[in-house]
Every structure is written in C-alpha cells, then in structure tokens.
C-alpha cells in the first residue's frame, strides 16, 4: 500500500491545473453560478471540452483503441477531481466521458459507436438520462414509459421527470418498458432529442437554471437500430453504468474546496479562532477525507480489474454525508455566501444539495449496503 | 497510489489469522468483563508482529493493518502503542507500553501493571519510566472497560527523557488510536450483523426490519471510513491525516457504542454475548487523547493553522 501519488500522477494533476488556469475566464466563479445545465454553461462547455479534446485531456483514461491515452483509473480520478473542484466546466459532458462513452463501447452496435462516439470525443455533444418517472423515482423498476416495436420502429409513449440536461441535450439515454416483466421488461433506446413528439418542460429548481425537466414522449418513433443492447437488458447495462457514475463524481473535492473557502472567509474577518467553529470545520474535513478514501479504495479495484459492487453505495453514502456537512457548515457560519458574498460557495451548495438524490437516493444506497455489503437477510416484499 | 495489500502484508495478516485462531472466539461459558491472554501476547511479540513498523519494506501501514486485525479479537492486546508508537521513542522499551498524557494522569491507564513502560507525553516532552507496584492503584474489581486498566498514583522522581517531539508521538498515537478503533468497529459490526440476522421476532429476523438495516448500513459506512483513514494516516505520516483519522474514529465509536447494545435488546445487556468486549474498549478509546474535541482542534490546527 502506498498513499502517495507518483511523479507522473502529480505532473498530470499539475497539467490539468495549468490548463484550467489558462482556459477558464477571469470571471469564471461568477459565471459558474449559472447552473451546470444552463444555456450559458452548456455553450461554454462545448467550447471548453473541445479545447480539452484538442489537448488530450477530455478522455485520457479511455483505452488507446478508443482514441484515449490509456492512462487508467487513477488519472480518471485526478481529472474528475480537478474539474469538479473547479466547478465542473465540462457541464453535463462529464457524463459522456465517465460512463456514456464506456457504456457505448461495451454494449453498442458498430453503427451506434460510429454515430455517437465521435461527437463525445470532440467534446461537442450533450446527453441526458431518461430514467425517473413521476411514479418511478427510487423504485425505478416500476417505470411505465412504453416502447412498442411496430414495423421495425419503436413507438414511445410516456413521461420522464427530474431529467437533468434535457433542455439542451442532443440525445437521451432512455429507459423504456417493452414488457411487463418488471426489471427484465426494461429496454434502453438512444433517442435524438429533436425527434418529433418529444416535449421538454423545465422545472424551476434549487439546483439552478436549466437543470431539471419533465420530458413527454407522444408517439415518438425511432428505428429499431436505436435499441441499445437487447430487449430487457437495460437493468444489467445501467447497473454497470451507475457503478461508474457513482464513482465518477468526486463531490468531496468540491466540498473540501468549498470548506477551505469558507474557512478563509472566516479567517479574514477574525472569526475562526473559536473552538466550536474550528471543531465543526474539522468534522467537515474528516467527512470529506472519509468519502475520498472510500472512493479511492474503489478506484484501486478498478485498477486491479475487479468488479465494483455494492461497496460503491457505501462510498457514495459517505460522499452524501460530506456534502451535507459542508453545506450546513457554510450556512451556519457564512450565511451571506449564498446571498451574493461567494458565487463559489453558492455554486457548491447548489451542486451539493442534490448529492443524496441524484444517481439513486441515499436511502437506496443504505438498502444496497444492508443487503449486499453486510449481507443481511432481505426484507420481505 | 496503490491501495491493494502487497504480498508481504497479505502474508502477515494470514499468519496472524492462524496464530490468533484459538483466540478468535470467547471461551465457552466465559462471562468476563475483559479477556486477556499472555500466551497470545507473547507469541505475537516473539514472532515480531509488533515490530513490523521498523522493518523497511513493511513500515507503518503494515503496522496499522496488524493493529486493526488484532483489535478484532475478543481478547484485549496491547498492540497499538507497541506497534505504531514504540519504535519512534525507543524500540527496546519493555512492553506493555502505556501512553499517558501529561496533565491527565488521573485517567484509567490501559495495560498498566508493574514492569510496564509508561510514556508521559506533553509540554515537558516525551518521558518514560518503568511502572512499579507503589505507583499503581488498581481499579474497582468489576470495572466495565474491556481492557485491563489501572491508575497511576503519581510519577517517579526520575524519568527518562526521549529525543523526540511530543507532537510526533501524539501524531503516531492518533494513528494507533484510529487503527485500533477500526478493528474494534469492524468486529463489533460483524458480531451484531450475525446476531440480528439470526434472532427472530415477529416471525422474521430482526435484520429484515428497515429501521435496523439503515442504522447498520450507516455504521458500515463509518467503519469503512475509519479503516481507510487510519491506514492513510499511517502511510502519509501527516499530522492532519492523523488527527482527522482519530477524530473520525472517536466520532464513529461514540456513535455505535450505545446503538450496538440497543439493537440487541436484552441480549445486549448481558455478558453472555461478547459485544461489550468491543464496545467498552471503543468507549474507553473515545476518552483517549482528550477525546473528540481535542482531535478536532488538532486537525483544525494542522489544516488551517
């Protein structure tokens, strides 16, 4: 075991920091107050990700045969940490390089790879996840948006909700029901968002402008070739994808950076000498460290080529705890931050508060830990 | 960054498993407040398991792994201070090693007995002496802590000064505290999950009730965090990492100390179940080094000045 970064890894981190320093605008902190899915940030991200791609930093962790540098999971982690603590200038495109690309590579047809991978590697496209529905949130397997195969086309009818990035996304990674066999009846379709019959309505949110939507599908017709994987294979595919997704967002980096920022504000005005505030800040730092090292243990598994299982739920629950601790610390000790005094802390808060809900509710993670990490007998259904 | 166990570490932990196998469970009908074994202690010391920190290719992370592993046993062993602190002060100090804080000499001292090395750490530096009968007062006979404890009645006139900063010993002490806590938390959780998976009420195992499952799952998250933070702190040697690991460890210990007995109901109040052998060690560890508040302030000092 060695807890130190290699010289190469440190150099890689420095290269990313230099790139960020050179390519983020002077008013970036104020600018990043725009929500991660806002029109302003989405437009900025298209330009920024293009530059990342030109410099080999958009997907350096991908294998060489996919156009990446083949750098591996630790470098993916470093990349994600630096981007996320800078306020995620990639916007929703972080999903592309974390899991959509790798999932396309693993399960996609040659035609799908040819159609979708290039725009991802150019840094020029945005995806959204059509998962949750009004009656299928945490209980995702009860989703009802139906896709019927009619003459070599799927005809889709139904509704999705709380869909991030839907307003400006080019493509939807859509979960549909093709049979009534609960988890085995769910099928993924890759649906261009400009397909006739799709209506997107934005839902005002705490997370910021343009983030959350409801999406309606009225007789939306896509060719059979839009099916991703086999009919009924969705659950297996998204289990694979979400394991990547849960690990892919190093929220602890932004939380810790936000904590340091809040402490600096307190120090500046001489309000960081009391024992209570110092102890509270230390607890937040411990929560950040606990979640970071739990995630690192999973990155190691990835390095070793091991399957990441339910432990990812444990790491993600730790991440939720750290986000919550820092969000609450900021409001208690630097309340003015969210009212104009610190765009950075406001930005952190808006990203932090969704930690326990996005990619599966925190309570679902506890259920998974109970059943699959602690191996407790299952609850009766 | 490499977080997988190396071959040496795997081998050492396997050796310990075989050596400690006869001590992995509580002897039949034993209802002690504390369990100790001189035989196991001697075997561990003789086989060098408590000296791995000084071996270049093993070092402090391996020492922390050893401490974590040994703390899982129902038997209380003086391993943490010996394995993670002693070599910094004087590798030849006779065991057991008792770490005490200057200014807090009235606390129960773990493993204190005649012949033990007592190290006093504080503003006057790092000083040690060999405990003698007249400096030791026994605790009440049925003390609840699952360690052998005793009290110091005072300090001898002469102590040996050591050429090491008190802060460095406190750092290593925090790592030792975190590593031992990690093992205790892991063993207590394992014992509890077994009990709750078997014990049936309302016609089904208690572990099938979500009210209990979520509390168990939350403590799994804490336990995992303490384990990794302890190893990281051992590996980096950074004072901030050590303070954060000790803080998280004491916070976790405090969180589970009550819950684990509560979730076991009546059985949790008996000595027939060994839970107290882990939880009452955890409880005493929450008082170590000034308690959670002191670790938090030490962490804040180390991080933000």
What pLDDT digit, counting tens, does each position of B237-290 carry? 999 999 999 999 999 999 999 999 999 999 999 999 999 999 999 999 999 999
The answer to whether residue A194 sits within a structural domain is: yes
Lowest mean pLDDT among A217-231, B75-89, B129-143: B129-143
Q: Of A232, A261, A278, which marks where a domain is finished?
A: A232
| Per-residue model confidence as pLDDT tens digits over B138-151 | 988 889 999 999 99
Q: Does domain B166-304 have CATH number 3.90.950.20?
A: no
Name which of B234, B182, B226 is nearest B61 in CA terms.
B234
Residue A229 above 80 pLDDT? yes
Check A377 against B297: CB less than 8 A apart.
no
- Alpha helices by DSSP H, listed for A98-220, are 101-107, 110-121
Task: List the single residue in A with minimal CA-CA distance to B225.
Answer: A290
Q: Where are the beta strands (DSSP E) in chain B?
A: 97-101, 109-110, 117-122, 125-130, 136-137, 149-152, 160-162, 200-201, 204-205
CATH of the domain at A39: 1.10.540.10
Q: Do A82 and A189 fall into the same domain?
A: no
Mean pLDDT confidence for B13-23: 97
| Count of domains forming chain A | 3
Share of chain A above pLDDT 70, in %: 98
Q: Provide the pLDDT for residue A37.
A: 87
Residue A381 placed within a domain: no
- Region A87-107: mean pLDDT is 93
What contacts 24+ positions apart, CB below 8 Å, involve A62-70? A62/A97, A62/A101, A62/A102, A66/A101, A66/A105, A66/A117, A66/A121, A67/A121
Mean pLDDT across B147-175: 97
Distance from CA of A20 to the nearest CA of B (A): 24
Residue range(s) defining the domain that contains residue A69: 7-125
Band (pLDDT 50/70/90 cuts) for residue A125 is: very high
Query: A305: nearest CA in chain B?
Result: B4
Is residue B193 over pLDDT 70?
yes
pLDDT of residue A34: 84
A48 belongs to a structural domain: yes
Yes or no, beta carbons of B197 and A376 under 8 Å apart: yes
Distance CA A365, CA A371 (A): 10
The verdict on a CB contact (< 8 Å) between A378 and B208 is yes
Average pLDDT over residues B111-136: 97
**Residue at a domain's end among A94, A125, A156:** A125
| The pLDDT of residue A246 is above 70 | no
User: Residue A190 maps to which CATH number?
Assistant: 2.40.110.10
Q: What is the pLDDT of residues A139-154, one digit of tens each?
A: 899 999 999 999 999 9
A347 within 8 A of A122, measured Cβ to Cβ:
no
- The CATH number for A354's domain is 1.20.140.10
What's the ipTM?
0.96
Q: Between chains, do A376 and B297 touch, taking CB under 8 Å as contact? A: no
Q: Do A283 and B303 touch (CB under 8 A)?
A: no
What pLDDT shows up at residue B38?
96
Q: How far is A235 from chain B (nearest CA, A)?
A: 24
The residues spanned by each domain of chain B are 166-304
Strand order, beta sheet including B136-137? B109-110, B149-152, B136-137
CA distance A56 to B36: 59
Helix A311-333 with A343-352: angle, nearest 10 deg: 140
- Whether A77 maps to a domain, the answer reads yes
Question: Which residue has better confidence, A308 or B12?
Answer: B12
Inside any domain, residue A238: no
Return the C-alpha torsion angle A123, A126, A129, A133, nearest 10: 170
């Amino acid at each position: 075991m060695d807890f130190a970064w290699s010289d190469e890894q440190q150099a890689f981190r420095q290269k990313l920091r230099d790139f960020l320093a050179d390519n983020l605008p002077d008013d970036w902190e104020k600018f990043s107050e725009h929500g991660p899915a806002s029109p302003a940030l989405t437009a900025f991200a298209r330009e920024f990700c293009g530059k990342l791609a030109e410099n080999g930093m958009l997907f350096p962790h991908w294998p060489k045969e996919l156009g990446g540098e083949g750098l591996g999971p630790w470098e993916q982690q470093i990349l994600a940490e630096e981007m996320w603590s800078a306020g995620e200038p990639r916007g929703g495109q972080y999903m592309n390089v974390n899991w959509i690309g790798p999932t396309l590579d693993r399960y996609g047809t040659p035609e799908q790879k040819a159609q979708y991978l290039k725009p991802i590697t150019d840094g020029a496209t945005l995806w959204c996840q059509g998962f949750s529905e009004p009656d299928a949130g945490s209980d995702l397997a009860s989703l009802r948006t139906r896709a019927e195969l009619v003459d070599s086309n799927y005809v889709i009818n139904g509704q999705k909700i709380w869909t991030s990035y839907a307003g400006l996304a080019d493509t939807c990674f859509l979960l549909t029901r093709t049979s009534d066999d609960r988890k085995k009846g769910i099928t993924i379709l890759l649906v261009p968002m400009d397909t006739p019959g799709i209506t997107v309505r934005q839902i005002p949110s705490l997370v910021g402008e343009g983030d959350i939507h409801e999406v309606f599908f009225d007789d939306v017709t896509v060719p059979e070739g839009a099916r991703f994987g086999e009919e009924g294979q969705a659950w297996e595919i998204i289990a694979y994808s979400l394991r990547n997704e849960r690990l892919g967002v190093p929220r602890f980096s932004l939380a810790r950076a936000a904590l340091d920022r809040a402490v600096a504000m307190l120090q500046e005005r001489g309000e960081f000498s009391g024992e209570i505030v110092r102890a509270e800040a230390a607890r937040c730092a411990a929560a950040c460290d606990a979640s970071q090292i739990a995630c690192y243990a999973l990155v190691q598994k990835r390095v070793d080529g091991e399957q990441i299982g339910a432990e990812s739920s444990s790491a993600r629950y730790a991440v939720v705890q750290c986000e919550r601790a820092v969000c609450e610390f900021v409001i208690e000790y630097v309340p003015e931050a969210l009212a104009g005094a610190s765009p950075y802390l406001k930005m952190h808060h808006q990203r932090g508060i969704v930690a326990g809900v996005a990619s599966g509710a925190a309570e679902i993670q506890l259920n998974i830990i109970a059943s699959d990490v602690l191996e407790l007998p299952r609850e009766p259904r | 960054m490499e977080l997988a166990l190396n071959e040496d570490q795997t081998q050492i932990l396997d050796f310990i498993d075989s050596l400690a196998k006869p001590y992995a469970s509580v002897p039949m009908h034993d209802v002690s407040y504390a369990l100790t074994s001189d035989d196991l202690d001697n075997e561990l010391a003789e086989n060098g398991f408590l000296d791995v920190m000084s071996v270049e290719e093993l070092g402090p992370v391996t020492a922390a792994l050893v401490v974590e592993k040994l703390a899982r046993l129902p038997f209380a062993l003086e391993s943490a201070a010996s394995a993670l602190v002693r070599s910094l002060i004087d590798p030849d100090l006779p065991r057991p090693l008792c770490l005490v804080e200057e200014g807090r000499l009235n606390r129960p001292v773990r493993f204190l007995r005649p012949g033990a090395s007592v190290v006093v750490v504080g503003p006057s530096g790092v000083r040690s002496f060999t405990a003698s009968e007249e400096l030791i007062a026994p605790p009440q006979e049925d003390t609840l802590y699952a360690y052998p404890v005793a009290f110091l009645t005072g300090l001898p006139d002469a102590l040996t000064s050591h050429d090491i900063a008190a802060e460095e010993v406190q750092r290593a002490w925090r790592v030792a505290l975190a590593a031992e806590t990690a093992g205790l938390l892991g063993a207590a959780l394992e014992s509890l999950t077994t009990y709750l998976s078997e014990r049936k009420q309302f016609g089904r195992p208690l572990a099938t009730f979500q009210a209990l499952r979520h509390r168990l799952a939350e403590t799994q998250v804490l336990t995992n965090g303490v384990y990794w933070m302890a190893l990281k702190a051992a590996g980096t040697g950074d004072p901030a990492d050590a303070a954060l690991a000790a803080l998280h460890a004491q916070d976790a210990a405090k969180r589970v100390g009550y819950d684990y007995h509560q979730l076991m109901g009546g059985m949790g109040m008996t000595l027939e179940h060994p839970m107290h052998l882990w939880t009452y060690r955890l409880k005493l560890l929450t008082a170590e080094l000034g308690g959670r508040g002191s670790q938090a302030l030490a962490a804040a000092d180390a991080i933000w000045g």
